[in-house]
Amino acid sequence: MDYKDYYKILGIDKKASEKDVKKAFRKLARQYHPDVNPDDPNAEAKFKEINEAYEVLKDKEKRQKYDQLGANWKQYEQWQRAGGEAQGQPFGWGQSGFGARGTGQPGYQYRTASAEEMEDLFGGNGGYSDFFSQFFGGGGGRSRRQYQSRPQKGQDLEHTIDITMEEAYSGATRLMQMGNNGTSRTIEAKIPPGVKDGSRIKLAGQGGQGIAGGPVGNLYLITQIKPHSQFERNGDDLFAKISVPLTTAVLGGEVDVPTLNGKKLKLKIPSETQNGKKIKLKGKGLPKLKKREENGDLYAEVKVVLPQKLSDKERKVFEELAELRKN
């Protein structure tokens, strides 16, 4: 039985935070999921290995035991062969099973699977290595019936959805096709106005099925805002560059400003407005997620547009202006 370096499998340092562990797992799970790599015979084995490493390192207790085990794992293996529990626990700790709750995405399940799920998927000891089963349980020491002896809540799932800036402004309704264990269902998800990059939208009871009569888990939608061709976002404020003719910048006037709801706003340009000047339109930004009655601001940055293809008369006017400016 070979020692499994779970840190190396996930490509992280031993001092990695829980956030770093999760980030590394999600990246690798997407990369090596068997459904994404149907023509790669090694993808399934790699996916199992990644899942196993995350199962240990995401759990504080399992990770502590794994770190304590370290180079002494051979001693533990010899203890197991010598009679296991009858000989007492080495290093002052015993085995722990699963019951793990992870995160994932519908369709492709990017999460750690429970022991019974892994058994269904991969058979035998649930797809976990002998190393994992010997030190942490999971397939070798417990029967499937024992795992299901008490109700357990279903897995909480995560799914990233792309949102346009217009949808972030006005809100939206999405119909999503969810697939799991060979079945599919349609879910209606309401996206509230004002969502940000990384906002979590909870859909109660839309996650994984419970075990032994346990409640259904939840589905969390993680929003990812697409870049916009005209607007940039900072919190609830919007920033846009507005083209202003040279004559309007000099003499003053009005220009049209686009908005995310498709309407045009009239922006008053003061005389002698300089290129790059920012003009605030109060309350014309994005809705505030937790204060629906309030909006952020819209900042219009003036971009002075110089005239092209001047007529002789226009050029003469500029020449006269240049002479006046000299004096």
Using CA atoms, how far residue 121 sits from 100, 109, 113, 128, 316, in Å, is 16, 12, 9, 11, 82
Helix (H) or strand (E) holding 20: helix 18-32
Length of the chain: 327
Q: How many helices and strands in the chain, by DSSP H and E?
A: 11, 13
Task: Kindly report, residue by residue over 70-100, the tens digit of the pLDDT.
Answer: 555 445 555 555 554 444 444 444 433 333 3
Pick the CATH number of 6-147 from 1.10.10.10, 1.10.287.110, 1.20.120.430, 1.20.120.1200: 1.10.287.110
Domain ranges of the chain: 6-147, 157-225, 231-326
**Cα angle vertex 138, ends 135, 142, to 5°?**
110
Cβ contact 27:41 at 8 Å:
no
Q: Is 324 exposed, middle or buried (0-12, 13-18, 19+ CB in 10 A)?
A: exposed
CA–CA separation, 77 and 126 (whole Å)? 20
DSSP code for 211 = B
Question: Which pairing describes strands 298-305 and 278-281: parallel, antiparallel, or unpaired?
Answer: antiparallel
154 vs 104: CA distance, rounded Å = 12
Weakest mean pLDDT among 46-60, 170-184, 208-222: 170-184
Query: 157-225 has which fold?
Result: HSP40/DNAj peptide-binding domain (2.60.260)
Instruction: Note whether 189 and 221 are within 8 A (CB).
Output: yes
Residue 110 has pLDDT above 50, yes or no: no
Q: Tell me what pLDDT residue 238 has.
A: 97
**Average model confidence (pLDDT) across the chain:** 78
Q: Which residues pair with 178 in a beta bridge?
A: 185
Using pLDDT thresholds of 50, 70 and 90, give the confidence band for residue 65: confident
Please give the CATH number for the structural domain made up of 231-326.
2.60.260.20
Q: Do domains 157-225 and 231-326 have the same CATH topology?
A: yes
Residue 76 near residue 135 (C-beta atoms within 8 A):
yes
